[in-house]
Amino acid sequence: MAENSHQSTDPPAAANLPASATILRPATSPVRRGRLLRRFLTVAGQLLGLLAGSGVAYVRSWPLEGRSSRRRLTRLGAALVERWLDPELAALPFAAQLRYRLERLGPTYIKLGQIMAVREDMLPRALTDELKNLFDQAPAVSFSRIRDLIEAELGRPLTELFLRVEEQPLGSASLAQVHRALTHTGQSVVIKVLKPGVRETVLDDLKLLCGLGSVLGPLIPQYEVMAIIEEFRDYTIRELDLTVEADNADLFAAQFHDTPAIVFPTMHRELSTASVLTMAFLDGFKPGAPETFALDESQRVQVVNLGAEAILRMLYQHGFFHADLHAGNLLILPGLPLRVGFIDLGMVGRFEEQTRRRLLYYYHALVNGDVEKAAQHLCEIARPGPGGSDLAGFRRSVVELSRRFLLRVARGQFSIARLILESMRLGGRYRMYFRVDLVLMVKALVTFEGVGRMVDPDLDVVAVSRVHIGRIFRDQFRPARLGRELWRNGPELLDLAGRLPELLAQSGRLLESSAPPSAATHPVVGLRSAIVAAACILGGVLILAQTDIWLAGGGLLLAGGWIYWRGG
């Protein structure tokens, strides 16, 4: 339930905190401690049931022949344990038992299972395949409770806020449900409401999960349990504050302001809080609906190109992308011109600048068939986990896998998303870790390929990708963009330029000294890299600036090359 001042058990001053502070506030009151204890007992009961059930399932998988006395005793113990288990679950394999118990534990664990389902790079395929069956639809909360929550959050009767609100929800997920409405100005909108009580339940669950992760982490270090839980916690906390989704929508709209055919819902901030979000209703149809097949060939091509442009720009140009992409969150908006829309923007992924660049170079190399360069960039993105030291072996395996996949291009069986996912799965064998944002990137690419082929069965994913990624790649190196990057790093460059004569003199003395030590321990190795970078960057700046001292820029470039060659 929304944490209003008259409902909270915390001091009244907490009511004036911003939404994010309220969401992250620790549970310190006696009421919350009691609720946390009850939740702990519920989770512990399901966990113990899962452990016992998985043990029974394991014993059942044993072959009947070769019955030793130890095995007979174990089978007897398993039969006794099974009598105390839920009969609906006892006969199921471990993966199915896990899915059902996550569903019983409620919204937090359903979301966790959905995140685990995309971690095909780390978890066994049998487990991820089963967790993909976690339901997206949850039972709806009665409209009377939704009405009370909206009125409490916005501080006015529902009839004053909206002309009409449909009581039957458009959809009901684990955290929120959505109702269509009409404003007094005649605008068709959608109201997304965080379900009553879900925030407190999720925050309690996150505390328990962190404790569980600290126990399981040392026992199964290869699965990076704490890393998965921390990433899941970050995503879930943001979804508990609906103002974050409003901010995401505004940011997406700003990034695609130059492409009116790619649409995001307009937010109605005056009718929104941390628990209620009102946004414009996008009147369109989902890919695969009957209306899709009424489009002519040129319209289908346009839809595919708009979808590819949107997803590839999100991932590789902006580094800010829709992290819950599937066919249900995409809309085709009919009319002239034809447009595509994105909805449900609460879960987003972010890449810092260096990772975004590496991913851009990786994808560009991949669609152009340069598997060696693609493997190099992927290895630079991976983080070695416990026991992960064979980076060269991982790179060789990725190259071999990529070559096998590229052989399928001519047969029309090539999937870029599947290749990237299988490459990341190889990382698990070599104890290389990829953060969840990268796996969600693959999910976005899977959606692009799947929806694209739904609209155009003859879609050439590589050809379409090559067009759009090539445009993004070229934009990365436009002089104006490079100039902005150099200007942003101006203070560091100027500082390095001031010290360049001293560094050049020191480097010269070291290079001319006799009996140089090995390259691994030579003191000029690290220094040389800095000097080469400084000389080349400054020379490039002078040339790009087209000043009267462009000859000096060329001289600096030559000096950098000479230092690199002499130090090699």
Both 380 and 509 in a single domain?
no
The β-bridge relationship of strands 339-342 and 262-263 is: parallel
Nearest to 208 by CA among 16, 421, 38, 64: 38
332 inside domain: yes
Strand partners, 74: none
305 inside domain: yes
Could you list the residue range(s) of the whole structural domain that residue 448 is in?
Answer: 286-477
Both 429 and 495 in a single domain?
no
Q: Which of 99, 116, 135 is the last residue of a domain?
A: 135
Q: Which of 444, 477, 510 is the last residue of a domain?
A: 477
Both 450 and 498 in a single domain?
no
Length of the chain in terms of residues written: 568
Both 456 and 489 in a single domain?
no
CA–CA gap between residue 313 and residue 296 (Å, rounded)? 26
CA–CA gap between residue 433 and residue 230 (Å, rounded)? 14
Both 311 and 452 in a single domain?
yes
Both 354 and 424 in a single domain?
yes
Both 343 and 460 in a single domain?
yes
DSSP 279: E
Query: How many domains does the structure of the chain reveal?
Result: 3
Tally helices (H) and strands (E) across the chain: 24, 12
Both 364 and 444 in a single domain?
yes
Q: How many CB atoms lie within 10 A of CB 397?
A: 17
CA–CA gap between residue 207 and residue 199 (Å, rounded)? 13
Both 433 and 487 in a single domain?
no
Written as one letter, the residue type at 409 is: V
291 inside domain: yes
336 inside domain: yes
Nearest to 556 by CA among 540, 534, 527, 535: 535
Strand partners, 277: 192
* N-to-C CA span, the chain: 65
69 inside domain: yes
247 inside domain: no
Q: Write out the chain's pLDDT in tens, 568 residues.
A: 333 333 333 333 333 334 444 454 444 567 767 777 888 888 888 888 888 887 877 777 777 665 666 777 777 777 777 777 787 787 788 888 889 889 888 888 888 888 888 887 778 888 888 888 886 667 899 999 999 999 999 999 999 999 999 999 998 888 999 999 999 999 999 999 999 989 988 988 998 888 888 887 777 776 777 877 888 888 889 999 999 999 999 999 999 999 999 999 999 999 999 999 999 999 999 998 889 888 998 999 999 999 999 999 999 999 999 998 888 899 999 888 899 999 999 999 999 989 999 999 999 999 898 999 999 999 999 888 777 678 889 999 999 998 888 777 655 567 888 889 889 888 888 888 888 888 889 889 988 988 888 888 888 888 899 999 999 988 887 776 666 666 666 666 666 666 766 766 666 666 566 445 544 444 444 555 555 555 555 555 544 444 444 444 454 445 555 444 444 4
Both 417 and 538 in a single domain?
no
Both 353 and 412 in a single domain?
yes
56 inside domain: yes
Both 416 and 293 in a single domain?
yes
CA–CA gap between residue 119 and residue 237 (Å, rounded)? 20
217, 226 Cβ separation under 8 angstroms: yes
274 inside domain: no
Q: Which of 90, 111, 135 is the last residue of a domain?
A: 135
Q: How many CB atoms lie within 10 A of CB 181?
A: 20
Both structure tokens of 191: 């109201």
